[in-house]
Structure 1
Amino acid sequence: MTRDVKMDAQMGVSKEGYAGRIEVVAGPTGRRRRSEAEKARIAAESLTPDAIVADIARRYGATRWQIYDWRRRFRRGLLAAPKEDVASPAFVQLTVDDDLQRTPHADIVEVAIGDILIRVGRDVGEAHLARIFRAARAAS
């Protein structure tokens, strides 16, 4: 290219100051800081039946390895269970003891999850019982 002596610039270059196309990427970038409660909630969600860790990681902008680490810490009790309920529909096999059928109003209900036996009274609330079941599943 030849140089224009009057302007001391290259010929064929725009003189309006156009620098080219600039693309702005919006959204969070860099390192994210998550609270222990948020990590526990994500870990609990990943432990629900039919949960796919890669999908959960993508949804929360984390890596699969972070979620696996959070799950391990959650199972060991290093992350506290989330206060809000995480939807976790689950079905367990129901067995009825014949001795308890004869008693019209049993005060204690026994539930076995794996090798864990849970005994609760009749007055236990549904939300509290769901938290107990989630904790038992996470421990087994």
Structure 2
Amino acid sequence: MSSNKPTPRKQAVSNAKTGRRHRSDAEKLKIVKESFEKGCVQAQLARRHGISTSQLWDWRARYKAGLLEDRADFSQVVVTQETPEGVQDQARSAAACPDLVIEVGQCYRFTIPAGFDMDAAARLLRGLA
């Protein structure tokens, strides 16, 4: 005869690490820059930092594409031409407004002409994100 009573179960809880480590962009950047040093053997570098060589190659490719860089919590803004007080954006002529230049990483630069519809530019840039 079998008993219909539920059998108590034990759950094993482990504090062991899974082996995956999430590195910050600053850590990745440090490793990538080290990989570009003269005489560096990438396989040894990867082993020393506990990553695979394919992971190092991926980070290097991202760095070359401008996708891996030191990131601040804010963007640097440089004023190149002061705006006269009391002038409305719509009233300014295209000659008085400089082009808007947006640099992303080391490889990409977007130049938006002064007379361009800024709402359309915002939609375009949001679509690229």
Q: TM-score, normalised by structure 1?
A: 0.37
Q: TM-score, normalised by structure 2?
A: 0.40
Structure number with greater Rg is: 1
